[in-house]
């Protein structure tokens, strides 16, 4: 009898460990305190398990205002008590990032580009680890340039790829370039796609997302302060990207996918295409149209969260 019992306990324990957010840094165990500088939070100054232990969805996006708006939106969608207008920025001690907690949902801004989101992710993953959160899904809600898509189309990322369409992220560590895989969670992506089919008039595709280190030259735009290639060169590159399955271009997905994967976090990227890059480079839609487009990833992710919580 005893060995069977032990075995069961072992499996439960293994499952419990698997669901925890893993950090891959032995140094953290030896530190008396961990200061999450860019969040203005710390393990000694804040009770992170009490503040964040129930988090199940960490939603991130570039703009501070948009992520505040998302927190207010999800507050209404989950029909939580209190006034969504009075929601508090947990990171008010710093203006680097903003963070709002709405029930089991965190909404955090990450700024623009790989370095900015990667700093935020180091601290977010440590925060989730220190808070002993379990079974957390990370979702990036963003904007992007569409490749062969009508403006307003939502792209759920299949693979996050680099400038040469490889599903990898290169990180310089000391004097070496380390290559990390950027595979995302297929199950979550399919769940999101299913959610999109349950919404009315919600054009959504699944496709590869190319992550670049620049908005202008890095994305083959002809309208930056610098440009050394022709319209034909640009179109040829975009066609190659399209043939490699790329449906949108943004600036954070590869490092997001790579870091989540290494730390055992399920992750997805949901970005709306603001324009079709085959048609131009400038974003010409009116402010009202852009605001509505940017709400689309929020609507989709809210539907996903409500379904996961068994509310619909």
Residues between 133 and 162 with contacts to ligand R2B, criterion CB under 6 A: 142-144
Least distance (Å) between residue 294 CB and ligand URA:
10
SS3 call for 154:
strand
Q: How many helices (H) and strands (E) does the chain have?
A: 8, 12
Contacting ligand R2B (CB under 6 A), which of 35, 112, 119, 290? 112
CA 136-138-141 angle, 5° bins: 150
Helix extents (H) in 53-208: 64-77, 114-130, 186-197
Choice between 143 and 182, CB closer to ligand R2B? 143
Stretch binding ligand URA (CB under 6 A), from 29-37, 138-146, 147-155, 286-294: 138-146
Question: CA–CA separation, 78 vs 285, rounded Å?
Answer: 31
**Distance of closest approach, residue 167 Cβ to ligand URA, in angstroms:** 18
Q: Report the alpha-carbon distance of residue 3 to residue 226 in Å, rounded.
A: 69
The position carrying tokens 């507050």 is: 75
Of residues 248-267, which lie at the interface with ligand R2B (CB under 6 A)? 250-252
| For ligand R2B, the closer CB: 63 or 190 | 63
Dist CA 148 CA 279 (whole Å)? 9
Binding mask of the shown chain, residues 169 to 208, with x at each position contacting ligand R2B by CB under 6 A: ----------------------------------------
> Which of ligand URA, ligand R2B, none is residue 112 near (CB under 5 to 8 Å by kind)?
ligand R2B
CB nearer ligand R2B, residue 165 or residue 215: 215
Segment 222-226 long-range contacts (CB within 8 Å, at least 24 positions apart)? 222/281, 223/281, 223/282
Query: Is 143 marked within a binding site?
Result: yes
Distance CA(238)–CA(248), nearest Å, equals 10
Options 93-101, 122-130, 236-244, 247-255: segment touching ligand URA (CB under 6 A): 247-255
Nearest to 254 by CA among 269, 273, 270: 269
Cβ of residue 271: shortest distance to ligand R2B, in angstroms? 7
Chain residue whose CB lies nearest ligand URA: 145
CA distance 117 to 13: 32
**Residue 140 assigned as binding residue:** yes
219 near ligand URA, judged by CB under 6 A? yes
Query: Residues marked as binding?
Result: 96, 140-143, 219, 221
Interface with ligand R2B (CB under 6 A): 62, 112, 142-144, 215, 250-252
Q: Which residues are annotated as a binding site for substrate?
A: 219, 221
């Amino acid at each position: 009898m005893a060995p069977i019992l032990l075995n069961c306990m072992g499996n439960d324990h293994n499952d419990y460990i698997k669901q925890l957010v893993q950090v891959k840094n032995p140094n953290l165990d030896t530190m008396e305190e961990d200061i999450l500088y860019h969040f203005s939070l710390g393990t000694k100054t804040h009770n992170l398990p009490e503040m964040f232990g129930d988090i199940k969805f960490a939603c991130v996006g570039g703009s501070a205002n948009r992520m505040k708006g998302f927190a207010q939106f999800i507050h209404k969608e989950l029909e939580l008590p209190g006034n969504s207008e009075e929601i508090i920025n947990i990171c008010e001690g710093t203006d680097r990032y903003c963070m709002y907690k709405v029930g089991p949902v965190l909404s955090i801004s990450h700024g623009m580009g790989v370095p900015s989101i990667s700093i935020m992710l180091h601290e977010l993953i440590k925060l989730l680890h220190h808070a002993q959160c379990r079974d957390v899904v990370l979702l990036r809600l963003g904007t992007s340039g569409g490749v062969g898509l009508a403006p307003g189309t939502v792209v759920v990322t299949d693979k996050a790829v680099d400038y040469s369409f490889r599903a990898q992220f290169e990180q310089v560590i000391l004097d070496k370039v380390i290559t990390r895989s950027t595979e995302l969670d297929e199950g979550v992506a399919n769940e999101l796609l299913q959610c999109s089919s349950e919404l009315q008039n919600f054009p959504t595709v699944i496709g590869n997302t190319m992550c670049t280190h620049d908005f202008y030259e890095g994305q083959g735009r002809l309208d930056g302060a610098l440009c050394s290639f022709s319209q034909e060169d640009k179109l040829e590159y975009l066609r190659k990207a399209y043939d490699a399955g790329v449906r949108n271009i943004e600036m954070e997905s590869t490092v997001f996918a790579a870091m989540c994967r290494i730390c055992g976090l399920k992750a997805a990227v949901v970005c709306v295409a603001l324009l079709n890059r085959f048609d131009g480079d400038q974003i010409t839609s009116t402010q009202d149209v852009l605001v509505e487009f940017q709400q689309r990833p929020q609507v989709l992710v809210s539907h996903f969260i409500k379904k996961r919580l068994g509310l619909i």
